[in-house]
Amino acid sequence: MSAARTPGARQHLPLLYPVGMLTVFFVVPFAIMLAVSFFQRVQGGFYEPVATLANYERFFSLFFANVLGFSLGLSALAAAICVGLGFPFTYFLTRLARRRQVAWLVFLLSVLSLSEVIVGFAWSTLLSRSAGVSNLLVALGLLGEAESWSPGFAALLLGMCYLAFPYTVLLLYPTLARLDRELVEAATTLGASPLRAFVTVVLGVARNAILSGLILAFVFTLGIYLLPQLLGRPEHWTLSVMITDQAVFQSNLPFGAAMAIFLMLVSLALIALTLLLGRGRDRSAA
Amino acid sequence: MSGRRGQALGVRLFMGAIGLVLAAPLVVIAGVSVNASRTLYFPPQGFSLTWYGEILRDAGWSGALANSLSVALLSASLAVSIALPLTWFLWRWRVRWAGLLYTLGVAPFVLPPVISALGFLAFWATLGLYGDYLTVVFSHAIFFVTLPVVTLSIGFQSIDRQLVEAATVAGATPAQVLRSVVLPLLRPYIVCGFAFAFVLSLNEYIVAYMVAGFTVETLPIKIFNALRYGYTPVMAAIAVAFVAVALLVFGAIGRFGDLPRLLGALGADEEKSP
Amino acid sequence: MSQLELRSLVKRFGATAAVDEVSLSVPEGEFVCLLGPSGCGKTTLLRLVAGLEEPDSGSLLLDGTDITGLPAHRRGFGMVFQSLALFPHMTVAQNIAYALSIRGASKADQRRRVEELLRLVQLPDLAGRQLGQLSGGQRQRVAIARALAVDPRLFLLDEPMSALDAKLREALQLELRLLQRRLGVTTLLVTHDQLEAMTMADRIVVMDGGRVQQVGSPLEIYRRPASVFVADFIGASNLLEGRARGEGRIELPGGTITVPDAPASGAVTLCVRPESLRLVAADKGAENGGAAGDGLSGEVVFVRDVGQTVETHVDCAGQRVIAVAVPDSVSDGGAPFAQGAAVRVEVPAAGCRVFPA
């Protein structure tokens, strides 16, 4: 029985403000960016409304292909690590008593809210020669001399996973928290070992959540822009860095916009592909 | 039995290790922030709280702090003011394009931030307002509107419609129902939505940087700019302060609200007792 | 305290009519139960009366005034919801005083009225409590008190007892009935529990498929069900398939019986309450020289003796007949029949209702 009814024209009035705000400040900016990506750059100014495909053509150079390839690979790796660690972590988290869950969640949210700047700064300090863990290892006699591990590829990957991990956990959390414990218990009484029950039942039930987790971590890390500059070397700069660099420092908004659109299209395509693969497996399983 | 105990230990070690990695940078930062000298050393050499005082004493840092706090306050308020009528409408009425409306509210935060940021930049540059203080407020409000949209949607869903009907039959007009029943029940979710938007705005870098990076210095921007000239313990002190604020805000939500429910688990009252 | 009249109310959800041409007149002070299986439209009908749903057609009159288009908040009714719908952010007193505060009553008036109502529902001294501190029965009473706060013109209840356990439910049913009589408020209660309806109602409205099947006093509905559906839904019934043979004779498996107002011919369904039937041993029936035409012969297949009553299941040529009796009257004052015993089921014409199949 529905209490919600179909509204008349007058009942739509309260929408005026929120939809207006979102349209003016989100839809319109997006449309402008899309348009600008086809415009021509003007030295010293922002852009000129002359239709051109030049901004898109510029990608097809070896340099940008390399940057794109590196960005996608790095994000895919980070996403795999985040979900690989985050899934068992979230599962164990949801099995904890509610009060301890809350404590973990508060901690995760606090880490999640940290600025990229602060995370980058913190890790570069942690991996540095003067204030890093290597000092600890020296003190323990495991290392002869303190060394610096940043910048470097490993440091960058670590930082990216650090940023994306809390998001991944929070995305997996609802599915796993609502997972009926009796499912696992049923599998156990049917003779499955705990590990087998986890793999066959929990992984199976949460397949869609895992897929969304991978996508989220992937798209999220693609957008990370500061860490490559703080924890990586110039050869580790990702597309996001290039976009900002073009838009802000080279004052080439059209090219930056074109790259942003391209980045979004690539992300959307990969998301669609992942979903398609997931659905295909669903169908074959059914 | 020993196998089960071994498993429990394994789980604890695994979670402990992850907790350690998540906490490590925070610990190091906290240690560095109390260094007595101007260089970053860990373990710290000497103990001093001067760097925390420096945040307020130094005009550059305190200005950035004021900017960050005011932007976060205004943009979080604006975000809630946008999310509230939107989610109320979706709860109150049944419309065919409800999915589209919700997507509109969620999209800003779901896209890679660089893309939203560049969109904002293109928009403000076109309007000729690039660099203005208010552009940061509005951009953050839109960027983070997703958080109150999500918490308020959950909040509205948690309100039993029979409560509204009971109030109506008791003689309350729709406006009175909203004031006496719906809003009081929604209050914790409003606070949560605001808190999420506030804390994330405080930490946000790229959007703020793109729309007004050279004119309005927020703390994250100030830290990044300062990083180029070398690290100082002040940055560490600020980072610690940020972590403290986040812990405080989310801790309060965890203490007074149903945090697991907000994050998508079943409510404490609906959960089967183990 | 008012008189309510429903005229040809119709409410559709999509293609299905939840309430289909319902007309009903409820005199002042009457307690009416809307009774039916789930999905029969009783709750929708109550919500139409409350103004929580708008009818697609038809009208509602209160004391002769058309209130069809009147918004729910201006009807001045009191309603108890299935979930009780107590406001979780308010105390007991605030809940009860809600309608008064909406109407701008003074704090003193509110306090006085809350105390009065709490006494009425036998919960004195609970005004300051939080809802979480109340038991199920207490919450129930608070919901009733809240609905009665402003002397409603109509008192509506939507399955208010469904969450309570059986014992508490019975006690509250009685209490609610006495309260309603004392206040004289015109009352509409929705329930799927026929015992609840029979305990409380002056009149019962049996509904099915969005339509009213029968309206009558509890006894009328029990004794003289208007259809096979009503006979089956209210209480236990034996529904026996048979064939009319004229002059009131009905041929059933296991024998023929005579019911004066039976149709002249065709397939029929005979409804008879288990407690109307009498069982006698097969040989005794013959000894008494009873006419071969007024009973059914069969074999006892199952006996359920629960102490208070004995229920005997008899197989009459493939059709199951159930007879219920208090222990002493079973088998002529003797012990219950054993499984396998050959019996004769005596069917008194007065207890039978015959419907064309």
Best mutation site among C19, C38, C46, C53 for testing chain A: the one with the most A CBs within 10 Å? C53
The CATH architecture one would assign to domain B59-262 is: Orthogonal Bundle (1.10)
The chains in contact with chain C, meaning 3 or more Cβ pairs closer than 8 Å, are: A, B
Chain C residues within 8 A of A8 when measuring between CB atoms: none
- Give tens-digit pLDDT for A69-103: 898 899 999 999 999 999 999 999 988 888 888 99
The nearest alpha carbon in chain B to A195 belongs to B7
pLDDT band of B213, cuts 50, 70, 90: confident
B160 touches chain C (CB under 8 A): yes
**Touching A: C residues 190-209, CB under 8 Å:** none
pLDDT band of B139, cuts 50, 70, 90: very high
pLDDT band of C264, cuts 50, 70, 90: confident
How many other CB atoms sit within 10 Å of the CB of residue C297?
18
Locate all alpha helices (DSSP H) within C78-193, ordered by sequence: 92-96, 98-102, 107-120, 136-147, 166-183
Domain range for A105: 23-285
The C-alpha atoms of residue B82 and residue B75 are separated, in whole angstroms, by: 10
Tokens representing residue C337 in the block: 């029949």
C53 touches chain A (CB under 8 A): yes
- Which range, B2-11, B26-35, B85-94, C29-38, is most confident? C29-38
Is the pLDDT reported for residue A215 higher than 90?
no
Chain A residues within 8 A of C53 when measuring between CB atoms: 1
Q: How many residues does chain C have?
A: 357
User: What does the pLDDT read at residue C31?
Assistant: 96
- Give tens-digit pLDDT for C205-257: 999 999 999 999 999 999 889 999 999 998 888 999 999 888 888 888 888 88
Chain B residues within 8 A of A88 when measuring between CB atoms: 14
Query: Is the Cα dihedral A238, A239, A242, A244 positive or negative?
Result: negative
Q: Sort A233 into a burial class: Cβ within 10 Å, 0-12 / 13-18 / 19+.
A: middle
Domain boundary among C201, C232, C263: C232
How many other CB atoms sit within 10 Å of the CB of residue A276?
10
CATH number at residue C119: 3.40.50.300
Pair (C37, C159) in one structural domain: yes
Chain A residues within 8 A of C13 when measuring between CB atoms: 1-2
Which regions of chain B carry the CATH code 1.10.3720.10?
59-262
Angle at A73 between CA A70 and CA A77, to 5 degrees: 135
CATH number at residue C265: 2.40.50.140
Looking up tokens 């019986």 gives C257
CATH number at residue A90: 1.10.3720.10
Is the pLDDT reported for residue C289 higher than 50?
no
Task: Give the mean model confidence (pLDDT) for residues B194-209.
Answer: 88
Q: Is residue A18 part of a domain?
A: no
Structural domains in chain A (count): 1
- Contact state of C44 with A2 under an 8 Å Cβ cutoff: no
For the ranges A169-173, B107-111, C201-205, the lowest mean pLDDT is seen at: B107-111
Helix (H) or strand (E) holding A229: helix A227-231
The C-alpha atoms of residue C195 and residue C235 are separated, in whole angstroms, by: 8
Main-chain dihedrals φ then ψ at residue A123, nearest 5 degrees: -70, -40
The nearest alpha carbon in chain B to A252 belongs to B122
Pair (C327, C310) in one structural domain: yes
B251 touches chain A (CB under 8 A): yes
- Give tens-digit pLDDT for B26-43: 888 888 888 767 666 666
User: What does the pLDDT read at residue C216?
Assistant: 95
For the ranges B132-146, B222-236, C180-194, C279-293, the lowest mean pLDDT is seen at: C279-293
User: What does the pLDDT read at residue B126?
Assistant: 84
Pair (C323, C187) in one structural domain: no
Helix (H) or strand (E) holding B161: helix B161-169
User: What does the pLDDT read at residue A279?
Assistant: 63
The C-alpha atoms of residue B245 and residue B235 are separated, in whole angstroms, by: 15
User: What does the pLDDT read at residue A46?
Assistant: 61
C78 touches chain B (CB under 8 A): yes
The C-alpha atoms of residue C5 and residue C60 are separated, in whole angstroms, by: 6
Main-chain dihedrals φ then ψ at residue B266, nearest 5 degrees: -70, 155
The C-alpha atoms of residue A286 and residue A282 are separated, in whole angstroms, by: 6
Tokens representing residue C79 in the block: 């309603």
Task: Give the mean model confidence (pLDDT) for residues B230-258.
Answer: 84
**Touching A: B residues 174-193, CB under 8 Å:** none
Sorted by sequence, the CB contacts under 8 Å of residue C256 that are 6+ apart come out as C245, C249, C250, C292, C293
Chain A residues within 8 A of C44 when measuring between CB atoms: 1
What is the interface pTM, i.e. ipTM, of the complex? 0.81
The nearest alpha carbon in chain B to C99 belongs to B170
Pair (C36, C114) in one structural domain: yes
Q: Sort C247 into a burial class: Cβ within 10 Å, 0-12 / 13-18 / 19+.
A: exposed
Is the pLDDT reported for residue C5 higher than 70?
yes
**Touching B: A residues 72-101, CB under 8 Å:** 85, 88-89, 92-94, 98, 101
Domain boundary among C232, C260, C277: C232
Task: Give the mean model confidence (pLDDT) for residues C2-14.
Answer: 91
Chain C residues within 8 A of A2 when measuring between CB atoms: 13
The C-alpha atoms of residue C92 and residue C133 are separated, in whole angstroms, by: 10
Instruction: Please state the separation of Cα C174 from the chain's center in Å.
Output: 14
The chains in contact with chain B, meaning 3 or more Cβ pairs closer than 8 Å, are: A, C
A4 touches chain B (CB under 8 A): yes
Pair (C225, C266) in one structural domain: no
Nearest by CB to B28, from A26, A125, A219: name it: A125
Radius of gyration for the alpha carbons in chain C, expressed in angstroms and rounded: 25
Nearest by CB to B185, from C76, C83, C89: name it: C89
The C-alpha atoms of residue C181 and residue C192 are separated, in whole angstroms, by: 22
User: What does the pLDDT read at residue C292?
Assistant: 46
- A251 sits in the region (left: phi over 0; alpha: psi -120 to 50; else beta) called left
> In C209-351, where do the E strands start and end?
211-216, 238-244, 249-252, 255-258, 266-272, 278-281, 295-305, 310-316, 319-325, 342-346
- Give tens-digit pLDDT for A127-137: 877 666 777 77
User: What does the pLDDT read at residue C129?
Assistant: 87
Q: How far is A1 from chain C (nearest CA, A)?
A: 8
- Contact state of A32 with B15 under an 8 Å Cβ cutoff: no
**Touching B: A residues 157-186, CB under 8 Å:** 162, 165-166, 170, 173-175, 177-178, 181
Q: Is residue A7 part of a domain?
A: no
pTM for the structure as a whole: 0.81
Looking up tokens 């008036």 gives C109
Is the pLDDT reported for residue B47 higher than 80?
no
Domain boundary among C232, C256, C284: C232
Residue C33 carries which side chain, given as an amino acid letter? C
- Give tens-digit pLDDT for A247-264: 777 778 888 888 888 888
Query: Which of C280, C291, C283 has its CA nearest to residue C346?
Result: C280
User: What does the pLDDT read at residue A1?
Assistant: 37
Pair (C12, C152) in one structural domain: yes
Tokens representing residue C88 in the block: 């979780």
**Touching B: A residues 259-278, CB under 8 Å:** 260, 263-264, 267
User: What does the pLDDT read at residue B272?
Assistant: 42
Residue C182 carries which side chain, given as an amino acid letter? R
User: What does the pLDDT read at residue B3?
Assistant: 64
- Give tens-digit pLDDT for C86-128: 998 899 999 999 999 999 999 999 999 999 999 988 888 888 8
Strand C295-305 relative to strand C278-281: parallel, antiparallel, unpaired?
unpaired
pLDDT band of C42, cuts 50, 70, 90: very high
Q: Sort B191 into a burial class: Cβ within 10 Å, 0-12 / 13-18 / 19+.
A: middle
Q: Is residue A4 part of a domain?
A: no
Is the pLDDT reported for residue B50 higher than 60?
yes
Sorted by sequence, the CB contacts under 8 Å of residue A137 that are 6+ apart come out as A143
pLDDT band of A207, cuts 50, 70, 90: confident
Radius of gyration for the alpha carbons in chain B, expressed in angstroms and rounded: 23
B267 touches chain A (CB under 8 A): no
Is the pLDDT reported for residue B208 higher than 60?
yes
Q: How many CB pairs under 8 A join A and B?
A: 272
The nearest alpha carbon in chain C to B177 belongs to C102
Tokens representing residue B253 in the block: 């939500």
Distance of CA A44 to CAs A47, A48, A253, B126, B216, Å?
Answer: 9, 11, 11, 15, 21
- Give tens-digit pLDDT for C307-337: 788 889 999 988 888 888 877 655 555 567 8
A194 touches chain B (CB under 8 A): yes
Main-chain dihedrals φ then ψ at residue C128, nearest 5 degrees: -85, 0
Nearest by CB to C81, from B166, B171, B173: name it: B166
Strand C65-66 relative to strand A47-48: parallel, antiparallel, unpaired?
unpaired
Q: How many CB pairs under 8 A join A and C?
A: 7
User: What does the pLDDT read at residue A42?
Assistant: 67
- Contact state of B264 with A226 under an 8 Å Cβ cutoff: no
Sorted by sequence, the CB contacts under 8 Å of residue B11 that are 6+ apart come out as A92
Helix (H) or strand (E) holding A47: strand A47-48
Domain range for C196: 4-232
User: What does the pLDDT read at residue C328?
Assistant: 65
The nearest alpha carbon in chain A to B112 belongs to A223
